[in-house]
Amino acid sequence: MRPLDAPALDVGAIETAFDEHVSVLPARDRALAARTLERVRPPNWTLEWHLPWWLGHAFGLAPATSLQIVASNVLGLVATRLEDDVVDSEVAGNEVEAAQRVSAALFGAAVDLYQPLFDAGAPFWAELDATLTAWRASPRGSLAGRGAPLKVGARAICLLADRAATWPQVESCLDLALTALARYDDLCDWEADLEAGRWNGLVASAVAAPQTFANRSRNRASVLLALMTGPAASDGFGRVATDAARAAALAHGFGSTALADHLAVVGARAAAQGLAVESHYVSAANRATELIFGAALSGGTG
Amino acid sequence: MDNYEVPPHIDLPYGYMEREIKFKLLAAHAMVDREFFEHLRDDPDGAAAELHIRLSDNDLIYLRELVDWDRIAKVADDIRESLNLEMVTNSW
pLDDT, one tens digit per residue, over A260-300 is 999 999 999 999 999 999 999 999 999 999 999 998 888 65
Measure the CA–CA gap between A23 and A18, rounded to whole angstroms: 9
pTM for the model stands at 0.85
CB-closest option in A188, A273, A296 to B62: A296
Compute the average pLDDT of residues A26-46.
93
DSSP state string for B7-18: PPPP-PPTTHHH
Peptide bond into A43 cis (omega under 30): yes
H helical segments located in chain A: 11-22, 27-39, 46-58, 63-87, 96-112, 123-137, 143-160, 167-196, 201-206, 216-229, 232-253, 257-298
Contact across the interface for A228 and B28, Cβ inside 8 Å: yes
Q: What one-letter code names the amino acid at A282? A: V
User: Predicted confidence band at B20 (pLDDT cuts at 50, 70, 90)?
Assistant: confident
Question: Closest Cα partner for A216 from A190, A184, A246?
Answer: A190
The 10s digit of each residue's pLDDT in A47-104 is 999 999 999 999 999 999 999 999 999 999 999 999 988 988 888 888 899 999 999 9
Which strand (E) or helix (H) includes residue B19? helix B16-32
Residues of B in Cβ contact (< 8 Å) with A287: 79
The answer to whether the Cβ–Cβ distance between A277 and B58 falls below 8 Å is no
> Nearest Cβ partner of B66 from A229, A277, A295?
A295
Q: Where are the domains of chain A?
A: 1-162, 165-302
Please state the separation of Cα A45 from the chain's center in Å: 7
Query: Does A3 score more than 50 pLDDT?
Result: no
CB of A122 within 8 Å of a chain B CB? The answer is no
pLDDT at position B90 over 80: no
CA distance B30 to chain A (A): 8
Q: Give the residue on B whose Cα is nearest the Cα of A284.
A: B79
Residues A45, A46, A52, CA angle at the centre, nearest 5°?
115
Q: Do B20 and A297 touch (CB under 8 A)?
A: yes
For residue A180, the number of C-alpha atoms closer than 13 Å in the C-beta half-sphere is 28
| Nearest chain A Cα distance for residue B71, angstroms | 10
Q: How near does any CA of chain A get to the CA of B54, in Å? A: 12
Exposed/middle/buried for A74, CB within 10 Å: 0-12, 13-18, 19+? buried
Whole-angstrom distance, CA of residue A240 vs CA of residue A248: 12
- The answer to whether the CB of B47 falls within 8 A of the CB of B26 is yes
A33 exposure class (CB count in 10 Å sphere: 0-12, 13-18, 19+): buried
Write the burial class of residue A64 (CB in 10 Å: 0-12 exposed, 13-18 middle, 19+ buried).
exposed
Cβ within 8 Å, pair B30-A292: yes
Distance of alpha carbon A146 from alpha carbon A23, whole angstroms? 28
pLDDT tens-place string over residues A232-260: 999 999 999 999 999 999 999 999 999 99
Show residues of chain A in contact with B55, CB under 8 Å: 302
Q: Which of B15, B56, B72 sits opposite A292 (nearest CB)?
A: B72
Chain B residues lying within 8 Å of A300, measured CB to CB:
13
pLDDT of the residue at A155: 97
Question: What is the C-alpha to C-alpha distance for residues A76 and A150, in angstroms, rounded to an integer?
Answer: 9
Q: Which residue of A has its CA nearest to B84?
A: A191
The C-alpha atoms of residue A256 and residue A149 are separated, in whole angstroms, by 20
